[in-house]
Amino acid sequence: MPPPPRRTTTRRSPRAAAPSPAVRRAAPPPPAGRPLAAPFAFVFGLLVAAEDLYLGWLLLEPDPGWHWYVVVSAGLALLAVAGAVLVLLGRGRGWLVLAVAAVLPALLLLGVAGLFGALGDGGSVGWALLLLAGPVGALVLALGRPIREWTRPARRTPAARPAGTGRGGAAGR
């Protein structure tokens, strides 16, 4: 009796086979350049700084002088500018600085909106919620994966060595 014909494993489907689980789990390499969200995070960081200075000015106006709350407002503005610049340049943990600088004004503005809501001043609630656009935008962008990967500490490769200064000693030996 002759042997049965061999079946080949040729696919007859027009679609490609599903990738193996190992291929599906592999993450794509991060992009080499600055992410598109970095300049937007920079702008929102500057907006947070401007809102911090504005809120400090509102507190300064009734009683001129450098009180602790005006100094705190100026410090938060400096922190927001530093975080925005760190994110734009891609320095390590810049996203964390920008996120901290955005969380504090966001909590303050939510508290102010709640206070005005409890007092029944709907117009002031609207303005306080409108001012939340800066901190919320900065938070959303700073906590996003592209910005976190862009500002992670080990992102940059070590600087290239000058020619001839490897293990073999000085050049020309």
Q: How confident is the model at residue 143 (pLDDT cuts 50, 70, 90)?
A: very high
Picking from 136, 128, 132, 105, the residue whose alpha carbon sits closest to that of residue 41 is: 136
pLDDT exceeds cutoff 60 at 157: no
Instruction: Give the C-alpha separation, 90 to 41, whole Å.
Output: 11
pLDDT in tens, 41-74: 999 999 999 999 998 888 777 777 777 888 888 9
Summary mean pLDDT of the chain: 81
pTM for the full model? Answer: 0.68
pLDDT exceeds cutoff 60 at 161: no
pLDDT exceeds cutoff 50 at 129: yes
Half-sphere CA count of 151, side-chain side, radius 13 A: 28
Q: How confident is the model at residue 87 (pLDDT cuts 50, 70, 90)?
A: very high
CB 100 within 8 A of CB 10: no
Phi-psi map region of 93: left, alpha, beta (phi>0 left; psi -120 to 50 alpha): left
Phi-psi map region of 65: left, alpha, beta (phi>0 left; psi -120 to 50 alpha): left
pLDDT exceeds cutoff 80 at 112: yes
The tokens 């996203």 sit on which residue? Answer: 95
pLDDT exceeds cutoff 60 at 95: yes
